[in-house]
Structure 1
Amino acid sequence: MTVTFETLEFEIGGVKTVVKAIGQGKPLLFLHGAATLEGFDFAAGLADRFRVLLPSHPGMGFSGPAPHVSGMADLIVHYLNLLDALALPSKPHLMGFSMGGWMATELAAVAREKFDRVVLVAPAGLNDPGHPATPLGDIAPQDFPAYLAHDPAVALPYFPDGSDADFAAAFGADRAREGEAVGRLCAPFGMGHPNLRRMMARITNPTLVVWGDKDRLLPASQAPLWCDALPAASLLAVPDAGHLVLQEKPETLSKIGDFLAA
């Protein structure tokens, strides 16, 4: 199925910022993870009830370069400015995946009054030593699909298979560009913040934590830690799903939609 998006473009602090949009209804801002290789097609599963807004982070995806970014605070300011530019008709829900879950957590902690409900899908950022994430540098390139999905066949189409040299070259260039942007974002503290638990205490918005129970990148054993730290959190554990839970178990989107519409 081909998913058709609208494309919105803004100049935010000198950064070309591209937002893909789909659906009608209450707005939902989605913040993607540390790469855009899986795309945004999953959003079709929410578009029947929500106006899903899918920006590419500065220096990533469809957006332009942002060499000034030196940490998460720059992205928080960027997204507050983007919200101003969007001039949405109602308070949006906020949803973040992986690195975008960390981003959404800090954004909601700083500006909880700007959002309605919050969804965190396999969020990064906590860096609890008792529940460590898998270091990306420890994963051989050919093994990444098996780390992204419990069923590697779900992730394999996002990777070059040797049959298309142009796709392979573009894939490599995109990952290098996004890796550089993520590296600058993570320069202060790595993929997270040492005081993230303290920040979470401010998020009084109803929050849903979603985690695949077979996640090999960010262990699902972190999920109770998030729920304990968030004042109004509930957990949606997804059986037989890896990190790309929205792609591997698309029926999860219906449950997320029910939570947001409650």
Structure 2
Amino acid sequence: MSSTELPSVPPTSVLPEAAAVRIAEGERLRSVGLPGVTLSIRSRPPARAGLPPALYVHGLGGSSQNWSDLMQRLEDVVDGEAVDLPGFGDSPPPDDGDYSVTGHARAIIRYLDAFGRGPVHLFGNSLGGAVSTRVAAVRPDLVRTLTLVSPALPELRVQRSAVPTVLLGLPGVAGLLTRTTGKWTAEQRVRGVLALCYGDPGRVSPEAFEHAVQELERRLRLPYFWDAMARSARGIVNAYTLGGQHGLWRQAERVLAPTLLIYGGRDQLVGYRMAPKAARTFRNARLLSMPDAGHVAMMEYPETVAGAFRELLADTDERGAGDGAPGARG
């Protein structure tokens, strides 16, 4: 579709309440059509009008549901939305099949530009952390603050527990996994994911576990599920090998937005040892180390993550009010 065929405001439709994807109480889910991509956007009504916008970006294999708890805890300070990246959650695959970190970042930028949401308080977990870093580096005008939970930034020595995720990006491995794990139940798969991603899987309530099983069963029925997983994993691996100005660490150096870095001591996918390097690389960063957390601290300890962001927000607003910086509201 050419740009001349697009309406001035991209089409938006509210997904029906009966949609298979889970919509928590107070949440709204809508589908947004953009050039080359359709995105599902999860949101909660802000506590009052005029709050600054926020956007939450999930990790590999995740969805906008990963942010529901945190989004609810911050609804009094930001106007929050969480996106399903192309091929994940309730978003269909991108038209061009591009699941690279750059491809995902391009989708985020298109959404923010189309709806005039920027500058936003941008949150990213894992893959979403790499995507958000790239967005903040190439489009600083779109990012007010940056909060990264276990961001997937290149490591010289990948943790052994993360090797299967890396291997998923190799050609043919997704098909092999589909064949070799075909008899695994959704419950078995979810337990494995929780053991990998949580510092303490026991923190997951029975209700949350059941919701996760239902969501995985739904997504396993999608014909593009494994392809989206494999291509996005390959995108992370490829991003790790990029050098020069396109390297993720080089881009991290270019981020201007105040940055909150959150690392879990029990993270089996992103090395806890990378936290000091990240704190040195992002020029305006603060670090929250959580020894008991795993890969998804915003799901395990949403109250702690929310408190750290509130401090970032308060300090950012105070500095903005002091120097007359634009957009320092909230």
TM-score category of the 2 structures, normalised to the smaller one: 0.7 to 0.9
Counterpart code for 1:84: D
- Distance across 1 between alignment mates of 2:216 and 2:61: 15
Q: Secondary structure at the match of 1:116?
A: strand
Tell me how far 1:229 sits from its aligned partner.
Answer: 1.3
Tell me how far 1:169 sits from its aligned partner.
Answer: 3.3
Tell me how far 1:193 sits from its aligned partner.
Answer: 2.8
Tell me how far 1:48 sits from its aligned partner.
Answer: 1.6
Partner of 2:81: 53
Partner of 2:248: 196
- Mapped contact 1:207–1:232 kept (Cα < 8 A): yes
Partner of 2:27: 5
Give 5+ residue unaligned stretches, structure 1: none
Are 1:149 and 2:202 counterparts?
no
Q: Could you report, residue by residue, the CA deviation over 1:53-101 in whole angstroms, capped at 9, with x for unpaired residues? A: 111111111112215133222222221111122223x621111011100
Of 44, 52, 58, 1:26 maps to: 52
Count of aligned positions: 256
- Mapped contact 2:149–2:296 kept (Cα < 8 A): no
- Mapped contact 1:132–1:219 kept (Cα < 8 A): no
- Distance across 1 between alignment mates of 2:160 and 2:139: 28
Counterpart code for 1:147: L
Equivalent positions of 1:221-240 (< 5 A) are 221-240=273-292
Tell me how far 1:105 sits from its aligned partner.
Answer: 0.7
Give 5+ residue unaligned stretches, structure 2: 1-23, 168-187, 242-246, 316-330
- Distance across 1 between alignment mates of 2:88 and 2:158: 31
Counterpart code for 1:60: F
Partner of 1:210: 262
- Distance across 2 between alignment mates of 1:183 and 1:203: 28
Equivalent positions of 1:63-74 (< 5 A) are 63-70=91-98, 71-74=100-103
- Mapped contact 1:148–1:155 kept (Cα < 8 A): no
- Distance across 2 between alignment mates of 1:29 and 1:147: 25
Partner of 1:87: 116
Tell me how far 1:211 sits from its aligned partner.
Answer: 1.3
- Mapped contact 1:12–1:81 kept (Cα < 8 A): yes
Tell me how far 1:12 sits from its aligned partner.
Answer: 1.2
- Distance across 2 between alignment mates of 1:168 and 1:209: 29
- Distance across 1 between alignment mates of 2:25 and 2:238: 31
TM-score (norm 1): 0.85
Residue 104 and residue 189 in structure 1: after superposition, are their counterparts in 2 closer, same or farther (change >3 A)?
A: closer
Tell me how far 1:44 sits from its aligned partner.
Answer: 0.6
Aligned identity (percent) is 24
Partner of 2:313: 260
Q: Secondary structure at the match of 1:19?
A: strand
Tell me how far 1:192 sits from its aligned partner.
Answer: 3.6
Partner of 1:41: 68
Tell me how far 1:155 sits from its aligned partner.
Answer: 4.3
Over the aligned positions, Cα root-mean-square deviation in angstroms equals: 2.8
Tell me how far 1:135 sits from its aligned partner.
Answer: 1.9
Equivalent positions of 1:170-189 (< 5 A) are 170-173=218-221, 177-187=224-234
Q: Could you report, residue by residue, the CA deviation over 1:117-144 in whole angstroms, capped at 9, with x for unpaired residues? A: 1111011132332767622359x94533
- Mapped contact 1:127–1:133 kept (Cα < 8 A): no
- Distance across 1 between alignment mates of 2:35 and 2:133: 22
- Distance across 2 between alignment mates of 1:201 and 1:132: 28
Tell me how far 1:116 sits from its aligned partner.
Answer: 0.8
Partner of 1:106: 134
Q: Higher helix share goes to which structure?
A: 2
- Distance across 2 between alignment mates of 1:189 and 1:46: 29
Q: Secondary structure at the match of 2:234?
A: coil
- Distance across 2 between alignment mates of 1:242 and 1:212: 5
Tell me how far 1:150 sits from its aligned partner.
Answer: 1.6
TM-score (norm 2): 0.69
Counterpart code for 2:227: E
Residue 188 and residue 153 in structure 1: after superposition, are their counterparts in 2 closer, same or farther (change >3 A)?
A: closer
- Mapped contact 1:3–1:41 kept (Cα < 8 A): no
**Which stretch has the larger CA shift, 179-188 or 11-20?**
179-188
